Amino acid sequence: MRDEVWIEAGKRMILRQFYIRESMRIFLMFVMCIVVSILWAVSTGQMVVFLIAIGITALVILRMVTIGSREFRNTFADLYPSRQEQIIIDYLQPHTIYRLFGGEVHMLSDAMIYRSGAKLLLILPEEVDVIKTMKYSGESAFVRGVWITTDTMKKYRLEFMSGQQQNIKHIVMWLKHKKPEITWQRNS
């Protein structure tokens, strides 16, 4: 087993990748805010709107740093060091990554690392009780989701765009393989 320094460095590496991916998303949001601010300033002559764009961006960055990774940190800290080490080793090795609507999910040997909605989460299959697959954007089924409920009643929503929906079955089968007693409710 590796020492605590190695485990801490591995956790920081996972968090760093999360911050890099989220920073790209925030940068694109900032560019959109600036474009809207320019259009607003040109039409009304008010330059104050630029401060609003900067303020919104600062709040989003603050949320990412404080709240975005808190649940991951807490869940990771509650694990035994050997499990923490295994998660880091799996993350460093080539592994399956499924793209989501606004994020991604890393399928490791005994855990899922999920990034979506400016949050980084660690989903442990032994805690999952119910998986519900559903479509919720009308008949076109533009977006389909997998709702995962744990034994502590935490709920995670993995959303897939139309081109990514074939991955839903892979995630459900992976979870069922890890914990066969999981209830799978199909609504789509």
Nearest-10 Cα torsion for 100, 158, 117, 70? -120
Same domain, 59 and 101: no
Residue 117 to residue 139: CA distance in whole angstroms: 24
79 and 109 together in one domain? no
Q: Each residue of 37-95: pLDDT tens digit?
A: 888 888 887 878 888 888 888 888 888 888 888 999 999 999 999 999 999 999 999 99
Tell me how many domains the chain contains: 2
Residues 41 and 71 in one domain: yes
Element (H, E) at 29: helix 4-44
Residues 85 and 125 in one domain: no
Nearest C-alpha neighbor of 132 from the set 155, 165, 114: 155
Do 15 and 71 belong to one domain? yes
User: 107-144 pLDDT, tens per residue?
Assistant: 999 999 999 878 899 999 999 999 988 876 555 556 77
- We report the CATH number of the domain holding residue 173 as 2.30.29.30
Q: Which residues of 92-128 are buried (b: 16+ CB within 10 A; e: fewer)?
A: eeeeeebebbebebbbbeebbbbbbebbbbbbbbeeb
Q: Which domain holds residue 177?
A: 96-186
115 shares a domain with 44: no
pTM beyond cutoff 0.85: no
87 φ, ψ (degrees, to nearest 5): -65, -45
Could you tell me if 154 and 72 lie in one domain? no
